[in-house]
A = this chain, B = another copy of it.
């Protein structure tokens, strides 16, 4: 099923670089707005799309927020991925996600990630890497995120008993999952309780499993 409303019924014209012609507000909330996007498709036809945008993106950036893959490293412990569990009103249930948050005015992705990690989990980390800007649901919204990789030295005093700095109305439970059995532990959690996992979390797990997949374990291809 495709979101395509064709406006002009003319035959395809010369191939053109597709582009947005105009964006009209359909509805605006405090945090989210809905726009009608008029664009020219690669065949030269003018069409419309319904686009969701956050109202909170800073003017200085193309990215709404950050997701944080934080690895907690402690002496005599397995390396763990620091996850958060919280009630999400849009889904009406608890979710299992990487820590994440929106970028504040003038903030870099790295600074936002260190701040959000500290607020949501109490851990103080060190930046290990940051991805390019990535999109989250490109058929629906213009929402973008940068994934920030953070290492946490769990032997440091402030990381031994980390203290969350949650805002009013925020409730976040920290969940540590061992890196070397990540997918299995996610699956275990899903079996135990009604919780929805974020696609990014599950796909990170699948990437790790894929890397260790032995081609010879594949079912023989049918001819």
Contact = CB atoms under 8 A, between A and B. Distances in A.
Interface string A12-48: 0000001110000011011110101101011101010
A26 B91 CA distance: 17
Given A203-B204, A211-B211, A198 B4 contact: no
A90 B37 contact: yes
Given A4-B167, A169-B2, A206-B204, A90 B151 contact: no
A31 B132 CA distance: 29
B20 A29 contact: no
A1 interface: yes
A135 B87 CA distance: 13
A45 to B, nearest CB: 7
Contacts of A134: 196-199, 201-202
Contacts of A218: 73, 151
Main secondary structure of the interface of A (DSSP, over half): mixed
Given A97-B138, A169-B41, A153 B2 contact: no
Contacts of A211: 207-212
Q: Give 10 nearest A-B pairs by CB, closest first.
A: A207-B207, A27-B27, A211-B211, A49-B89, A4-B169, A134-B199, A18-B87, A51-B90, A29-B50, A208-B211
Interface of A: 1-6, 18-20, 26-27, 29-32, 34, 36-37, 39, 41-43, 45, 47, 49-54, 56, 67, 69, 73, 79, 87-92, 95, 97, 100-104, 126, 131-145, 147, 149, 151, 153, 155-156, 167-171, 179, 187, 190, 196-212, 215, 218, 221-223
